[in-house]
Amino acid sequence: MSVELFNLVKPTEKNAGGGGGIKSQIILIREADIDWELFPEIDADGITMSENIAMITGKFMHSFYMTQGTIKPSQKKLKGSNQDCGGYEIGLEGFYPGIEKAVQEWIGKFGIDFKGLVIIQNCASAKCYLIGEPCNLVHLETIDTAWGEEIDKDKGSKFGFLCKQGSPMIFYEGDLSFDPLEI
């Protein structure tokens, strides 16, 4: 497949390269909850999904709280064994405060075997970034729980989600499908 090279011009939005202070909502979608037969195609630009991710009836996307300012998405190119192969490693790291029953229950049920997709919905820009793709799902790579042994030390769990996939992060423009009874 031949793709034409195009210009990448300076962004027009103010402070486009400014980082820090990411205020985002993290949305998890379990592999078993997705209707994969109706999974939307990526648009012609190769980086946008404008159709909704179809969920199995009665299944929904789930919010996953991370302390604002600790949310760190990352994307890097993976070098293949030759020039004709490679991909992208996309990660998401963030901190969940406290060591309470709810977080320990989540870790106990999903910490070993979470597989699915992750959407990062950026508060400031209202953009949604999709991590994961069919056959290359996001998994929970790390959980690091700290006791907070001193008053100025963190008490809670750092979560690290990771995916190695063929495409970079996708702009997701479909609907977010939350359980209306939990909103």
Question: 11 lies in a domain?
Answer: no
Cα distance between residue 101 and residue 104, in whole Å: 5
Question: 177 lies in a domain?
Answer: no
Question: 19 lies in a domain?
Answer: no
Question: 36 lies in a domain?
Answer: yes
At 18 the pLDDT is 58
| Number of domains within the chain | 1
Residue 28 structural domain: 24-172
Question: 76 lies in a domain?
Answer: yes
More confident residue, 135 or 181: 135
pTM: 0.88
Closest CA relative to residue 24, chosen from 106, 125, 103? 125
Question: 178 lies in a domain?
Answer: no
Per-residue model confidence as pLDDT tens digits over 75-105: 999 988 888 888 999 999 999 999 999 999 9
At 12 the pLDDT is 73
Question: 67 lies in a domain?
Answer: yes
Question: 17 lies in a domain?
Answer: no
Q: How far is CA 129 from CA 107, 123, 176, in A?
A: 24, 12, 12
